[in-house]
Amino acid sequence: MKVLVTGGLGYIGSHTTVELLNNGYEVVIVDNLYNSQIEVVDKIKKITNKEFKFYEVDVCDKEKMKEIFDKENIDAVIHFAGYKAVGESVQKPLMYYRNNLDSTLTLLEVMKEHNCKKIVFSSSATVYGSPKELPIKEDFPLSTTNPYGTTKLIIEGILKDLYKSDNTFSIAILRYFNPIGAHESGLIGENPNGIPNNLMPYIVKVANKELDELKIFGNDYDTVDGTGVRDYIHVVDLARGHLKALEKIDKENICDCYNLGTGNGYSVLELVNAFKRVNNIDVPYSIVGRRDGDIAACYASTDKAYKELGWKAEYGIDKMCKDAYNFVLQGGSKWKKNVISVVQKTKTGWKYVSTVEIN
């Protein structure tokens, strides 16, 4: 099967590409490098020892997308491409609506013209808004609190309407919770262009002394220690969920939604303390006021994904924290360039050898 991966050089897209290649899929990546780096192409090839096609193309460009579909004979699509910063979406809502909706509509139109009717869509737990109970199930009411989340919810509606009009399409909508971690090689991981939007990049910035301390927003929530609780999932587990969804839509025509999380909630302080322990490094922090729009707790029910996709997360919080910091030490991140971890590939995986300072 030949799979088109839009946004395939990004954080989740690159890890999913690795899993696809390692499982025998042919891969074509389309990425405009807005929030990714061209170096990831070679890193994916180094990890997998496999080749794939890469096109530096904006998915909104319909003529170029047509050319790719004309040339590549695509069987299925995994759609990651889109702007994803919640705060930026509040400041620049029109940019988010234009890009995220236009890119998806363009992609779906080109897919339909080329009779390519299998798609896995990258959605988000933000479509649940502020849930009234936990864990969050797929049939809970949907609402959003920011333009980024609203674009995801609108696209979910577009996909559902498309399926109603033509049930020869097969669609899996994956609602992510909080991906962290990195590939165990340390070659690919979370490396956003510009200001990070997630918690883990800030933790490693403090660990590397690029920031004096981590600011924790609020410690008076009704949680185990007063800090916000989220469902953190290892990015490799998340990537593997896409392969299970791809298998599902290849076997039957569906349009359905699945949570991808661990089913466990960890507080901010629990994550920080785990990071300090497994990496043997200090992460100073201070408590500041709550952020507008933040909720106390959010974690998934993963029963449906397990029953219908045969998928569940395997990695715990310790491995998430270890792999996230190893990516920085390995030099894969822009944040610290003078320290690398030396690793080697063995029959059972990647093995840590040593840490080396470079000038």
The CATH number for 11's domain is 3.40.50.720
Classify strands 2-6 and 26-30 as parallel, antiparallel or unpaired. Answer: parallel
Beta-bridge partners for 76:
3
Q: Are 7 and 80 in contact (CB under 8 A)?
A: yes
Phi and psi torsions of 223, nearest 5°: -135, 180
Instruction: Identify the residue whose tokens are 């990714």.
Output: 36
Report the alpha-carbon distance of residue 256 to residue 244 in Å, rounded: 13
Task: Extract the tokens encoding 260.
Answer: 């991808």
For each of the chain's 359 residues, which pLDDT tens digit applies?
A: 999 999 999 999 999 999 999 999 999 999 999 999 999 999 999 999 999 999 999 999 999 999 999 999 999 999 999 999 888 899 999 999 999 999 999 999 999 999 999 999 999 999 998 888 999 999 999 999 899 999 999 999 999 999 999 999 999 999 999 999 999 999 999 987 766 778 999 999 999 898 999 999 999 999 999 999 999 999 999 999 999 999 999 999 999 999 999 999 999 999 999 999 999 999 999 999 998 778 899 999 999 999 999 999 999 999 999 999 999 998 766 544 343 434 445 554 444 344 344 33
Proportion of the chain in helix, strand, coil states, percent, rounded to 5: 40, 20, 40
* Residue 148 is a catalytic residue: yes
Q: Are 101 and 154 in contact (CB under 8 A)?
A: yes
* Model pLDDT, residue 311: 98
* Model pLDDT, residue 197: 72
Report the alpha-carbon distance of residue 281 to residue 207 in Å, rounded: 7
Task: Extract the tokens encoding 155.
Answer: 């696209």
As for how many domains the chain has, the answer is 1
Query: In what helix (H) or strand (E) does residue 78 lie, and over which residues does it extend?
Result: strand 76-79
Which pairs from 83-90 meet CB under 8 Å and 24+ separation? 83/34, 83/35, 83/148, 84/35, 84/148, 84/197, 85/148, 85/197, 86/126, 86/146, 86/148, 86/149, 86/197, 87/197, 88/148, 88/197, 89/146, 89/147, 89/148, 89/149, 89/151, 90/146, 90/147
Between helices 268-279 and 317-329, what is the axis angle to 10°?
Answer: 60
* Model pLDDT, residue 145: 86
Task: Extract the tokens encoding 288.
Answer: 């500041």
Nearest C-alpha neighbor of 144 from the set 204, 89, 181, 64: 89
Q: Are 54 and 31 in contact (CB under 8 A)?
A: yes
Global pTM value: 0.91
Report the alpha-carbon distance of residue 84 to residue 95 in Å, rounded: 11
Report the alpha-carbon distance of residue 195 to residue 193 in Å, rounded: 7
Nearest C-alpha neighbor of 46 from the set 18, 10, 80: 18
* Model pLDDT, residue 331: 76
* Model pLDDT, residue 194: 66
> Which residue range forms the structural domain that includes residue 257?
2-357
Which pairs from 46-51 meet CB under 8 Å and 24+ separation? 46/187, 47/18, 47/183, 47/185, 47/187, 47/188, 48/18, 48/21, 48/22, 50/21, 50/22
Nearest C-alpha neighbor of 265 from the set 163, 168, 147, 177: 177
| Residue 267 Cα distances to 123, 200, 230, 286, angstroms | 23, 13, 6, 15
Reduced to 3 states (helix: H, G, I; strand: E, B; else coil), residue 90 is: helix
The one catalytic residue in 96, 148, 176, 202 is 148
Report the alpha-carbon distance of residue 133 to residue 263 in Å, rounded: 14
Q: Are 285 and 206 in contact (CB under 8 A)?
A: yes
Report the alpha-carbon distance of residue 166 to residue 183 in Å, rounded: 38
Residues in CB range of 348: below 8 A, 6 or more apart:
none
